[in-house]
Amino acid sequence: MGNFFTKFLKYESEEQKKTEAPGPSKRKVSRGSDEETERGRKRMKCSIEDQRRGRKRQRDSDDIEEPQQKKMARTSSREPGRKRSKGIDEEEEQHTQKRVKTCPENVEGPVVDYSNTSFSQSLESYEFQKVLGQGNFGKVMLALHEKTNHLVAIKEIVKGSVPLRTIHKEQRLLEMAQGCPFLSHGLTAFHNETNTYLVMEYVQGGSLHDFLAKKHVLNLDEARFIAAELICGIQFLHSHGVIHRDLKPENTLMSHEGHVKIADFGLAAENIVGIKKAVGQYGTLIYMAPEVLDDKRYGCSADWWSLGVMICQMITGQFPFKAEDYSRNILKARPCYPEWLSTDARDLLNRLLGKNPKSRLEFSRNIRKHAFFSDIDWKDLELCRVRPPYLVTT
């Protein structure tokens, strides 16, 4: 599979050179080509509808109401007073301001092992079921791979809407993620004249954001388990020189069994090893570390701050800083917790939400030994032998 991704990156780059005109990097497509593509899509749609005839499937067209918690996060991330670095481009806008529209229809199936499966690189090989998520520059769709009868998630990216280097980066990281069970895995990729398609494993349990919207507050055992699996995923990324830079419940998927998978590597920074640092205010404000918000150079410490905010959100049902002037509070204020919060949980959060990135990074090296995780068998956890202490319903 690794060879295919490498060949695809090279082939797509060559195709881009052939189709792009000199000057501005806007791709030109002839009217005849557009009409032919549209006719092809209509034929495929008719074919899909024919296959679905006879199946009894109830459709609900009502949209799920957007949780209040997500509204708060999106509002805060567009705060007028926020300082923006020159490095921010459309790439960040896609991830920090996108509104996801979830289809209420449930599609369930058995847990699938994709490891020894070969997936087709043509659009006609997939039967699309529904839209899972909608962004500014594309969408994620649930599809059935007809040859294997496996459900997959396909990310459709409109060519020219996202820098080619960003697409290539996400492809590389999806391939690398295959080495960790707590990261979202890429299966294959292909493209046509208008779009690029990233085929990924379908994670059936929804997102941690959806899970929190239903439960509001998790007990310590539930939060501890999710945090521990997130730690495994984060440490895998960091060991490969990758900072995620947009860790949040919306980008944390949950399997049908309840295991977590970190997703969406569009804002990730690569090759952050040794003394090398990243720059730019990338991410979502509520989960953004002080050094990122303050437009300083930063390393892996930024992800550990985001994890601290997520743990606080899971345990207390609230964010560690007051909503009023949230940016200033990230930089200056101390985190606030309920009085009933346990000593171990309070100490863990204080260390993850410390303003000093060096101290935060030093603590992260031994985070598995913290008293809050004393009940975790890390060896069994990494092998997914530990059963989640909750049920996931979609």
The DSSP-derived string for 257-316 is: TS-EEE---TT-B----TT--B-S--S-GGG--HHHHTT--B-THHHHHHHHHHHHHHHH
Q: Half-sphere exposure of 312 toward its Cβ, with a 13 Å CA cutoff?
A: 25
pLDDT of amino acid 8 = 52
pLDDT of amino acid 71 = 36
Tell me, yes or no, if 246 is annotated catalytic: yes
Closest by Cα among 131, 123, 130 to 190: 123
Calpha distance 175→304 (Å, rounded): 23
pLDDT in tens, the chain (394 residues): 555 455 455 545 555 444 444 443 333 333 344 444 454 444 444 444 444 443 333 333 333 333 334 333 333 333 333 333 334 344 434 433 333 333 333 444 444 555 556 787 888 899 999 998 886 677 899 999 988 899 999 999 998 888 889 889 999 999 999 999 999 999 999 999 999 999 999 998 999 999 999 999 999 999 999 999 999 999 999 999 999 999 999 999 999 999 999 999 989 999 999 899 999 999 999 999 999 999 999 999 999 999 999 999 999 999 999 988 999 999 999 999 999 999 999 999 999 999 999 999 999 999 999 999 999 999 999 999 999 999 998 6
Could you list the residues known to form a binding site, using ranges.
Answer: 155
Q: How far is CA 244 from the centre of its chain?
A: 9
Domains of the chain and any CATH numbers: 90-202 (3.30.200.20), 208-382 (1.10.510.10)
pLDDT of amino acid 220 = 96
Calpha distance 142→283 (Å, rounded): 26
Q: How far is CA 184 from the centre of its chain?
A: 8
Q: What is the pTM of this model?
A: 0.72
CB 195 within 8 A of CB 156: yes
Helix (H) or strand (E) segment spanning residue 254: strand 252-254
Which candidate in 246, 325, 344, 380 is catalytic?
A: 246
Calpha distance 172→270 (Å, rounded): 10
Q: How far is CA 172 from the centre of its chain?
A: 15
Could you list the residues known to form a binding site for ATP, using ranges.
Answer: 155
